[in-house]
Amino acid sequence: MQLPTRKFTKFVLSENGLSQGTPDEVPTEEPLEIRVRGKSIAVIMRTPGHDKDLVAGFLATEGIIQRAGQIIEMEYCQRGEEGASENIMNAFLTSDAVFDEEKNRRNLYASSSCGLCGKATIEAIHQNFPPVESREQIDKAVLFSLSDKLRAAQPMFDKTGSLHGVGLFDFQGNLLVAREDVGRHNAVDKVMGWALLKGRWPLPGHVLFVSGRLSFEITQKALAGGISIIGGVSGPTSLAVEMAQDSGITLFGFSRGGQTNIYSHPHQIRV
């Protein structure tokens, strides 16, 4: 799927002065309102495209659903005679998918500035998503290859330089799916939603690899999918490391040029 862009005029400022204006493509960013049974639960800024994957992944990684069968239908909402609005999506869930507004409001970790409180927050998350237990190992050479493989699967980054990328790999280093978005959490949810809707959920024996920083929210979403190894091109936050340590997740960062830093549970890597 070709993700949408918009064209703007660009002027380059250098030691030689200001260049003439030239067209430049910029990735589109628009809000997506997510509704459950017609009730709004979240508004996410995202790059339009793979919206059903995004919504399914969001619902799963936030603990609202546990399997794809709990989604009856996902459709864009109708806006009178104007047709469907592609910025509002309604998810119809089965009766056993119980959406508790107060409970889920506390559990929706949409921003790293929302006042997370360390160990107490991790313990609360483990009530919904228990720590992973994995004895599988991945070869170090596979880890070293992931950065280049994800980079090769980011066509919109080549075009705009402005999108985050996330890839899901098996332990042999095969790229199963890659998604791009202006929001790194959205790209993660698109990958997780793809896996859910393809019947691959949960995801033991897989690696989640991101093009940027490893945040607490990304670690939490990986845990929701049962992923035991996550890594990235950039480094982690302190709470991401604590989350990984307490959740049985191997977390590695600054993975580039045949080198990486391991921050938790190195026993899952075959050295």
Structural domains of the chain in order of their starting residue, each with its CATH number:
138-270 (3.40.140.10)
pLDDT > 70: percent of the chain: 90
Banded model confidence at residue 82, pLDDT cuts 50, 70, 90: low
Encoded tokens for 163: 């999108």
Which pLDDT value is given to residue 109? 43
Q: What does the chain come to in residues?
A: 271
Q: What is the mean pLDDT of residues 2-30?
A: 85
pLDDT over 70 at 105, yes or no:
no
pTM of the model: 0.84
Which pLDDT value is given to residue 117? 46
Cα 9 from Cα 23, distance rounded (Å): 5
- Which residue is catalytic, options 114, 124, 141, 152? 114
Phi, psi of 170, rounded to the nearest 5 degrees: -90, 175
Contacts of 166 (CB under 8 A, 6+ apart): 150, 178, 179, 180, 184, 187, 188, 190, 191, 208, 209, 210, 211
Which pLDDT value is given to residue 12? 84
Which pLDDT value is given to residue 110? 40
Mind listing the pLDDT tens digit for each residue in 207-239? 999 999 998 889 999 999 999 999 999 999 888
Banded model confidence at residue 262, pLDDT cuts 50, 70, 90: very high
Banded model confidence at residue 43, pLDDT cuts 50, 70, 90: confident
- Verify whether residue 114 is a known catalytic residue: yes
